[in-house]
Chain A
Amino acid sequence: MKFKFKGLLSTAIAIASGVMVLLGYFFTVPALVNVRIELVNWAVILAAFAIFVGVVNLLAVHGNKVRRKEKGRFYSFILVISLFATLILGLALRPEHPTVAALFDSVQLPVEASLMAVLAVTLTYASIRLLRRRLNLVGVVFLVTALLILLGAAPLPFFGDIPILSDVVRPFLTQVLAVGGARGLLIGVALGTLTIGLRILFGAERPYGGK
């Protein structure tokens, strides 16, 4: 009975907060809009708490690895040190301070750009594998589209733009055919989001631990 009450409390909080925000979205009554803004502000604060929960959990997992001398503890140790150093510097100096910005520029930007660069090679490898393993009509259409768009976008050395491909085929593919498919996909994703959102607000879906 006690457990049921706890589940009900969470469900009631989810439904009440969601309905209040939704009312503020669709009815521009000043009181409702103000309530919506305040409720969303509280959610931003909770999201910040959630980030701290995540950071502490990451520290606990890797700290335990180091303490128990598990395999890969050296990497965990480096992670803990880099996390602490950045967190302390960021908290003491603010994230926009030149020293913190330099740390960000010398670690985050090169690693992210290099991961993106690695993606170029892995994508090439993946498309070759697609051709060798699943050569069906849809796969061919996918790869031919990608190839035509890339050829139409990048001018060839000495030749420049490829006639017809650059000014007819590529615009037709990207601005007509792909737009149709993308609209269908976007509307489909939005309909899915709408459905799952409504299920949460009706209490049919409880991804927060309520039974």
Chain B
Amino acid sequence: MTVSMDLITGLAAFLLTVMVLSYLIGDNPFFRLAIHIFVGVAAGYAGAVAWHQALWPKLFRPIVYGTLAEKLLAVIPLLLGILLLAKLSPRAARLGNPAMAYLVGIGAAVAIGGAVMGTIFPQTAATVNLFGVTGDGMAEKLFEASIVLAGAVTTLVYFHFGAKAAPGGPRRGKFVQALGWVGQFFVAITFGALFAGVYAAAMTALVERIYFIWIFLGSLF
């Protein structure tokens, strides 16, 4: 029984792999079929996870088995959830706006907290802390810290689009323009490094898929 189940899942994985890789010779019905199966399974799985990880334990179980306080607390998200379901109908979609507004408000607050506490403070502190070096190789570390600082500042300036009105159209100041010119090279190097990372990961996936096809075919014959 286990062997046949393994064979079925292996065969499905093999067929889907070949169907997706067939995109390399151009868009074709096999690729589209694989993608539609993928989207269907992903959406169904997401729905099942949403029910078992959020809706049942956080909403419906408290309503069915919870204390009076838990039941009362669960009423508000239940009402907002029902309002959100109104988004399914174009005519009643407006009823879902308060629920959407709630999600957006919470999302904005969480995003602000994450941006300030998770990115701006730690990244700024990490850049400043690079200068707190002593002992051997201090000059080299200070040189590297200066380059990191210059990279961070010039990259930020590169994305600064404030400009003054001028006769030939809006223009950035010369100092800002010069810093931005340097910044574009830091941006190019950063994206080059990211590209190399993604490319290496994609190559690893390609090798792994080819190896999987080889092993699966080998196990059949």
Considering the complex, give the chain A residue whose CB is closest to the CB of B16: A110
Which listed residue (B36, B104, B192, B206) contacts A117, Cβ 8 A? B206
Q: Chain A's nearest CB lies how many Å from the CB of B57?
A: 10
By size class, the interface of chain B is 35 or more
B55 touches A114 (CB 8 A): no
A142–B152 CA distance with the chains assembled, in angstroms: 17
Report chain B residues within 8 Å CB of A165. Answer: none
Cβ contacts A34-54/B at 8 Å (1 or 0 each): 000011111111111111111
A-B contacts, CB under 8 A, total: 415
- In which size bucket is the chain A interface? 35 or more
Contact in complex: A180, B150 (CB < 8 Å): yes
Judged by a CB distance under 8 angstroms, whether A168 is at the interface is no
Interface of A is mostly: helix
Q: Chain B's nearest CB lies how many Å from the CB of A106?
A: 4
Q: Which B45-96 residues sit within 8 Å CB-CB of chain A?
A: 45-55, 58-59, 73, 76-77, 80-81, 84-85, 87-88, 93-94, 96
Give chain B's interface secondary structure class: helix
In the complex, the answer to whether B59 meets A45 with C-beta atoms within 8 Å is yes
Tell me which of A22, A40, A100, A107 has the highest count of chain B C-beta atoms within 10 A of its own C-beta.
A107
Task: Give the residues in chain B near A14, CB-CB below 8 Å.
Answer: 101-102, 104-105, 108
CB distance A48 to B188 under 8 Å?
Answer: no
**B195 part of interface (Cβ distance < 8 Å):** yes
Flag A171-187 by CB within 8 Å of B: 1 or 0 each: 00111111111111111
| Pair B98/A13 contact, Cβ less than 8 Å | yes
With A45-B77, A104-B41, A183-B126 given, is the CB distance from A95 to B105 under 8 Å? no
- CA distance in complex: A185, B151 (Å): 10
- A31 CB-CB contact with B under 8 Å: no
Among A18, A102, A182, the residue within 8 A (CB) of B106 is A18
Q: Which residues of B contact A (CB under 8 A)?
A: 5, 8-10, 12-14, 16-17, 20-21, 23-24, 32-55, 58-59, 73, 76-77, 80-81, 84-85, 87-88, 93-94, 96-120, 123-124, 126-127, 144, 147-156, 158-159, 183-203, 205-206, 208-210, 212
